[in-house]
A and B are shown apart, each in its own frame.
Chain A
Amino acid sequence: MRVSLIGIVILLFSPVVWSAAKIEHWQTPQGSRVYYVHTEGLPMVDLEVVFDAGSARDGKQYGLAALTSALLDTGAGKWNADDIAQRFESVGASMGAGVSSDMAWLSLRSLTEQPLLDKALDTLQTILAKPSFNEADFKREKNQVLAGLKHREESPGELASVAFYKALYGDHPYGHPGSGFKESVAPLKAEDLRHFYKTYYVAANAIVIIVGDLNREQAEQTAKRLLSGLSTGQKPAPIPEVVMPTQASIQNIKFPSSQTHVVVGEPGTFRGDKDYFSLYVGNHVLGGGGLVSKLFDEIREKRGLAYSASSSLAPLLRKGPFAVGLQTRNDQTPEALSVLNTTLADFINQGPTEAELTASKKNITGGFAMRFDTNKELLNYVSVIGFYGLPLDYLDTFQQNIEQVSVDSIKQAFNSHIDLRILQTVTVGGESASAK
């Protein structure tokens, strides 16, 4: 049977004129926003349902959003965790769920053959509409999270990350790790999760992103079907603005590792910031450009001080972190930190050279098509565009926006966003003297 089928297959791949993805957008009657991109060539679809229900919505119950998300596929409707897993996996589908600071998402990757997709969609719809949050599953998942929190105490890098976010954000909703702390997770009850779910997993707070080989009508039905069991609810009030640190700080946390992990930074920028493209290109020159950047050159290529040295800019609904990081042998920490700080200060004071700017622009625009040459990557972009309400032509105008960045606009943007007087520095390590 297989052989004869191969013979009659009509080739689906034909060279097509490529353009940036065409994003279609509509709203459901209950107020959910839908974003859809049709891609051809493979009989598969990637989709996500995203809620404004990330760890920034934890309140004081740090870890609540993450635990709620973890419970979703452990029981829904009449199914238990095994039933749910079998329903997806028997049709070759994979389902995921997770949270970041701003978002909670459920994702599905499935083949588009109708009976297979139907089964996967039914299962996801039930998870969305009727999660059980039963006591036995809750206890087990909570124990897993608590064990995970313990495990992370083995990691100097993660310890540094926690201290860094706390230093940047204090009591702001971005100031704690998504998985919480032992003290905040232990007292959580299944009822807390149910309440969180009822508040935030509602149609008015949902967006749906669909990327794959479904036509518009199928996409509309898919979105409608997925959200059909959700109560309408309402969109939660936005989280508060970030309060910037008022002065610089340095924390040195002792840890028995051979390397010291160093993170330096402060709250940087938010999605939709008018200076975003200047900051983006500037960060690319400074430390975001992979194997070619000022930090990589100064720290690694010239001095061999670290394996990785980079800077990152993570725009969120509010000001996300600007972070510069490296790891180095304990006794080299002062030298590495000094090179890091000098490189950063020089960049902020002087900006990039014209040559550096040109090189970065060429890399960014020349590699533009590669940023979303898979369904998954495209889905991630569309998800950000949808969630943060960026213009639908964001991808179409991206290269143009990059081209408009100048040395001056970078200098100006960095000067108004990154204040060297309030840099937060965290180091973790340094306890083991035997490092060599």
Chain B
Amino acid sequence: MKKRLMVAALLYLPVLTALAETKVSERLLANGLKVLVKEDHRSPVVVSQVWYKVGSSYEPGGITGISHMLEHMMFKGTDKHPVGEFSKIIAENGGDENAFTGRDYTAYFQTMNKSRLEVSFELEADRMRHLHLLPDELKKELQVVTEERRMRTDDKPRAKMEEYFMAMAYSNSPYKNPVIGWPADIASYTVEDLQAWYQRWYAPNNATLVVVGDVEPEAVFSLAEKYFAELKTSTIEPLKPQTEVEQVGSRQMTVKLPAKLPYIIMGYKVPTLKTAADESEAYALEVLSGVLDGGSSARLSSQLVRGKQIAISASAAYDLSSRLPEMFVLEGTPAEGKSVLALQKALTDQVAQLQSQLISPDELARIKAQVLASAVYERDSMFYQALQLGMMETVGLGWKKVDEYVDKVNQVTAEQVRAVARKYLIEDHLNIAYLEPQALTGHSTPDNNGVAGSSIQGDLHHAR
């Protein structure tokens, strides 16, 4: 034990050296656009991201998924640049680009040679206020999004199960709706719906421009002034809170879909950094997540997948940066011959153990070492650095939370971890879904009986 702690102490030195250099420059333009710049001179490259405070959790019923649909339409032309030109210009300038939509944000990005940052600014500023929403383009893009939904959700049993699970677990929180939207809503968007959504949220005072790369902050600010300053400010109506009502008793559901393996998802309602009365609770939940699933030495792998061999896979997840109250999620596939109920018992036993016993100093030291090391590794990627800043800013926590993270996790004690386990991982706030596999009827197995090999498609979450 003593030895492990010493290692953690050693770890502190080099990491500090690296982390101390992180410096973000911030500028607020007169029209409300916030610009964040972080220098990284390791390559002559720049990442530029525009983040809008809008996502699926902003959407009322009937038009779920409209933020994502609008994200697709943002590539369909403006007064200055007709359909298709945006992507062609970026490509010809050696750029790499895309966009993604989440529950709490919509973001657009380009990665370019540092000399081309201006190209990205010109195009992003243009489509922030001057988008053309054309009926013919919407008609085609609706088909594309419908295909995207089929690919990501409809034909994937676990993704579909998760969709049903969220819809059950949340009573009134907009987190009950899928980011991509419900099928009937997707089928019914009109140009007017999209126009209204665009007008309501796409404005400089509802956006953050994040730039990370081989740049000088002052030069970036001047460039941002040049292209974005003229954009008009909007009145952004405050979002209704839609605060989730308290759950008063556990909920279970069975999802029957064509599949080969059973699966279980369990979710406890928990606060996030934004919603916790005391933010240390969110950091304690983060550490708790690491105790269960922070690597191959963590408890779920070590005790359930190896030890008891009750699961083929088991994982824990918690997103402390969500804008609204979240779930702490445990999920897994039972091993051959084991039932989902047996796996459920094993998972709840893990929770009970966290409530009754303190985690060991070794475990705590290991998690802190990993967090520190990750903070260095993350800096290998400009994109990821920009992502963190943009996300924290957009959910309303402020980018400074990124810099605080390592320190705050370091302050978490074993007692705090036990306390959040006792306070939040309680049965009355638990939601469970079971995937009950149905025959893949008529599935004509080829003679090699094989269904393996690597997937042809990647899985970039709700990207364009």
Contacts and interface: CB of A to CB of B under 8 A. Distances in A.
B392 interface: no
A366 B94 contact: yes
A28 B253 CA distance: 60
B163 interface: no
Interface in A222-265: 251, 253-259, 261, 263
For the residues of A in contact with B, the DSSP-based class is mixed
B454 A178 contact: yes
Contact of B87 (A15, A153, A163, A291): A291
Contacts, number: 324
Given A92-B373, A253-B444, A181 B449 contact: yes
Contacts of A11: 21
Interface stretch (A1-9, A198-206, A343-351): A1-9
Given A42-B376, A90-B366, A155-B451, A140 B93 contact: no
Interface string A69-87: 0000100000001101110
B86 to A, nearest CB: 9
Contacts of A253: 444, 446
B17 A304 contact: no
Given A13-B39, A82-B302, A116-B10, A43 B18 contact: yes
Interface string B38-60: 01111111000000000000000
Interface in A78-116: 81-82, 84-86, 88-94, 109, 111-113, 115-116
Contacts of A147: 261, 312, 333, 335-336
Contact of A9 (B20, B87, B335, B452): B20
Contacts of B298: 89
B2 interface: no
A337 to B, nearest CB: 15
B217 interface: no
Interface string B2-42: 00100110111111111011000000000000000001111
A191 interface: no
B451 A263 contact: no
Interface in A292-346: 292, 297, 300-308, 323, 325, 327-329
A367 B14 contact: no
Of A39, A178, A304, A307, the most chain B CB neighbours within 10 A belong to A307
Contact of A154 (B88, B259, B336): B259
Interface string B295-331: 1111001100010010011000000000000000000
Interface stretch (B124-132, B150-158, B350-358, B424-432): B150-158
Contact of B45 (A92, A160, A165, A369): A369
B441 A154 contact: no
Contact of A327 (B147, B306, B376, B441): B147
A119 B112 CA distance: 38
Contact of A43 (B14, B42, B369, B448): B14
Interface in B170-228: 214
A141 to B, nearest CB: 10
Contact of A367 (B94, B295, B374): B94
B154 A258 contact: yes
B294 interface: yes
Contacts of B309: 140, 143
Interface stretch (A29-37, A266-274, A372-380, A417-425): A372-380
Interface stretch (B137-145, B240-248, B268-276): B137-145
Contact of B43 (A157, A182, A369): A369
Contacts of A146: 336
Interface string A140-184: 100110111111111111111111011000000000111111110
Contacts of B81: none
Interface stretch (B230-238, B279-287, B377-385, B393-401): B377-385
A89 B296 contact: yes
A362 to B, nearest CB: 5
A90 B141 CA distance: 48
B39 A307 contact: no
A82 B87 contact: no
Contacts of A12: 17-18, 21
Given A157-B456, A304-B139, A306-B147, A162 B450 contact: yes
A14 interface: yes
Nearest to A323: B456
B413 interface: no
B451 A9 contact: no
Interface string B81-119: 000100110011111111000000000000111001000
B148 interface: yes
B260 interface: yes
Contact of A116 (B11, B16, B146, B214): B11
B418 interface: no
Contacts of A363: 91-92, 94-95
B148 A179 contact: no
Contacts of B43: 18, 369-370, 373
Contacts of A329: 146-147, 150
A85 B41 contact: no
Interface string B361-389: 01001100110111011011110000000
B148 A307 contact: yes
A368 interface: yes
A41 interface: yes
A85 B296 contact: yes
Nearest to A90: B366
A6 B440 contact: no
Contacts of B42: 13, 39-42, 373
A122 interface: no
B147 A259 contact: yes
B94 A143 contact: no
A70 to B, nearest CB: 12
19 contacts: A41-B41, A42-B18, A42-B42, A43-B17, A81-B296, A81-B306, A82-B302, A85-B302, A89-B294, A93-B373, A147-B333, A154-B156, A157-B455, A161-B455, A176-B448, A257-B154, A359-B92, A367-B112, A370-B45
Interface of B: 4, 7-8, 10-18, 20-21, 39-45, 75, 84, 87-88, 91-98, 111-113, 116, 139-148, 150-151, 154-157, 214, 258-261, 294-298, 301-302, 306, 309, 312-313, 333, 335-336, 362, 365-366, 369-370, 372-374, 376-377, 379-382, 407, 440-446, 448-457, 464
Given A158-B456, A307-B148, A373-B382, 10 more contacts: A9-B20, A42-B18, A115-B7, A177-B452, A182-B450, A289-B91, A304-B139, A328-B147, A329-B147, A370-B43
The 6 closest A-B pairs by CB, nearest first: A366-B94, A92-B373, A177-B453, A304-B143, A85-B297, A304-B140
